[in-house]
């Protein structure tokens, strides 16, 4: 599995996780919108072709979920990838996913 570096940046109303790896060019991202301090919306996940099949989107989703759990936040999974991931792990993520 590729070594993936994930960085998070945020503004007052938005957040963005960016993943890079020395094994591939480009960057993958997962963006979110902050509704309230305790409620966020996972908006969009993008992985360039150069990173497909490396598990990068899953790592971005896992980081989003871990950070939200640590901050006591709930996630509305509007992004199709995050939604599918959350549905697949519905029981273990019930504390953090807002359906």
Task: Provide the sign of the torsion angle of the four alpha carbons 65, 66, 67, 72, taken in this order.
Answer: positive
Which CATH number is 5-88 given? Answer: 3.40.630.30
Please check whether residue 2 is in contact with residue 56, taking contact to mean a CB–CB distance below 8 angstroms. Answer: yes
Please check the confidence at residue 1 and state whether its pLDDT lies above 60: no
pLDDT tens-digit profile of 6-40?
999 999 999 999 999 999 999 999 999 999 999 99
pTM for this predicted structure: 0.95
Please check whether residue 28 is in contact with residue 18, taking contact to mean a CB–CB distance below 8 angstroms. Answer: yes
- Going from N- to C-terminal start, the domains of the chain cover 5-88
Please check whether residue 33 is in contact with residue 40, taking contact to mean a CB–CB distance below 8 angstroms. Answer: yes
Q: What is the mean pLDDT of residues 37-58?
A: 97
User: Which pLDDT score, from 0 to 100, does residue 87 have?
Assistant: 97
Q: What is the mean pLDDT of residues 62-74?
A: 98
Please check whether residue 61 is in contact with residue 47, taking contact to mean a CB–CB distance below 8 angstroms. Answer: no
Q: What is the mean pLDDT of residues 52-76?
A: 97
| Beta pairing partners, 85 | none
Task: Name residue, tokens 């993008």.
Answer: 46
Question: How far is it, in rounded angstroms, from Cα 24 to Cα 48?
Answer: 9
Q: Under DSSP, is residue 93 helix (H, G, I), strand (E, B) or coil?
A: coil
């Amino acid at each position: 599995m590729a070594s993936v570096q994930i960085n998070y940046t945020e503004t007052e109303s938005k957040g963005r996780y960016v993943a890079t790896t020395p094994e591939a060019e480009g960057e993958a991202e997962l963006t979110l919108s902050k509704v309230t301090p305790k409620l966020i919306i996972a908006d969009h996940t993008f992985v360039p072709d150069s990173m497909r099949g490396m598990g990068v989107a899953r790592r971005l989703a896992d980081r989003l979920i871990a950070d939200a759990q640590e901050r006591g936040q709930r996630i509305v999974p509007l992004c199709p990838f995050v939604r599918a991931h959350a549905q697949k792990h519905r029981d273990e993520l019930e504390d953090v996913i807002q359906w």
